Copies of this chain bind each other. A is one copy, B any other.
Amino acid sequence: MIDIAATIKDVAKYTGLSIATISKYINGGNVLEKNKILIEEAIKVLDFKVNEIARGLKTNKSMTIGVLIPSLENIFITSIISHIESILIQSGYSTIICDCKENRKLEQEKTEFLLSKMVDGIITMPYSNNGEHIKRVLEKNIPVVLLDRPLKDVNCDVVLVDNLNASYNAIEQLIIRGHKRIGIICGSKDVYTSQERLKGYLRVHEDYSIEIDPELIKYGDYQIDSGYRLLNELLDMESRPTAIYVTNYEMTLGAIMAINERGVSIPDELSIIGFDNIQMAKIVKPTLSIVVQPMQQIGETAANIMLKRLKGDMSNYPSMFRLKTEVLIRDSITSIV
């Protein structure tokens, strides 16, 4: 039983060569062919693995990237992370994932935690609107990539989607089907994505010269309950909307629950467009039209820009990647006569 990991020293001893030579070989240097064979043998026999911790101390790199997110119980986020990890590991980086559980204080603390772990960079989907914790990271010259939304006064790379046109395109599908009273269930007023998604709603109405009833604009908090509550509010209006657009996944879930509960007939009584999660869209009856975000592209873009910064390439800094969404039309919307 090997219970103490072999070190370069052990390999040196085994081969009769010096530590320096082994180290050089490991890092791609040239050694005599016969020594190469010898070293390889020693490595195999001793089951030697470079101690990344020790290496990190010397190189001042931990080869780990911190990934700080508001929740791990969100398929949109974990899917992005999965793609981030795939890219990073190819370059030898590991990812330390910290979930701040939608809590500002935890977000703070976990940032410090990541710093103490000497991460080489941080990729984060910010929860708090206040970017002070990120500024501290940037001050230490540690690259940061923001996901999903930018942060006021924080100057760094950001990868997000074109939320405005995501909404624009979704609502447009309703408008060209004759809808004029379209309800929208937004997130909180102070959340960036929520603001953008509302802007798209407003702009497309303007472009088609459709008047907006402010009553049709509801503000929630991106949680299931608010989707449920606001969908009900919209249905309780004297002059009901003929279509409703729900601007995130959780609220879409809530909205569907309300619809099922009330027995509203989709799409005859009401057309509806939701957000994210293709699987969910397939199992509801009738199948749901949704806005889909390019999770893989988001993750890969974020990982790649991070890798670029890590290599010291600061060209086009800070960059903003504004990826395109897609509207999937299914059976939950129909034309109005």
Binding site for B on A (CB under 8 A): 1-3, 5, 49-54, 56-57, 62, 64, 71-73, 75, 78-79, 81-82, 85-86, 89, 94-99, 101, 110, 112-118, 139-141, 224, 253, 256-257, 260, 279-280, 282-285, 287
A2's partner among B71, B140, B224 (CB-CB below 8 A) is B140
How long is the Cα–Cα vector from A299 to B75 in the complex, in angstroms? 18
| Min CB gap A153→B, angstroms | 16
Q: How many copies does the complex hold?
A: 2
How long is the Cα–Cα vector from A50 to B53 in the complex, in angstroms? 14
In the A-B complex, the 3 residue pairs with the smallest Cβ-Cβ separation, listed nearest first, are A72-B82, A3-B141, A256-B283
Q: Is the CB of B282 within 8 A of A257?
A: yes
How long is the Cα–Cα vector from A3 to B139 in the complex, in angstroms? 6
Q: Is the CB of A113 within 8 A of B94?
A: yes
Instruction: Name which residue of chain B comes closest to A141, CB basis.
Output: B3
| Min CB gap A64→B, angstroms | 7
Known: A57-B53, A280-B280. Is A85-B72 also a contact (CB below 8 A)? yes
Instruction: List 17 other contacts, CB 8 Å, given A1-B141, A72-B79, A73-B82.
Output: A1-B139, A3-B141, A49-B115, A50-B116, A51-B118, A52-B118, A53-B56, A54-B57, A72-B78, A72-B82, A82-B101, A89-B98, A94-B96, A224-B279, A257-B282, A260-B287, A280-B283
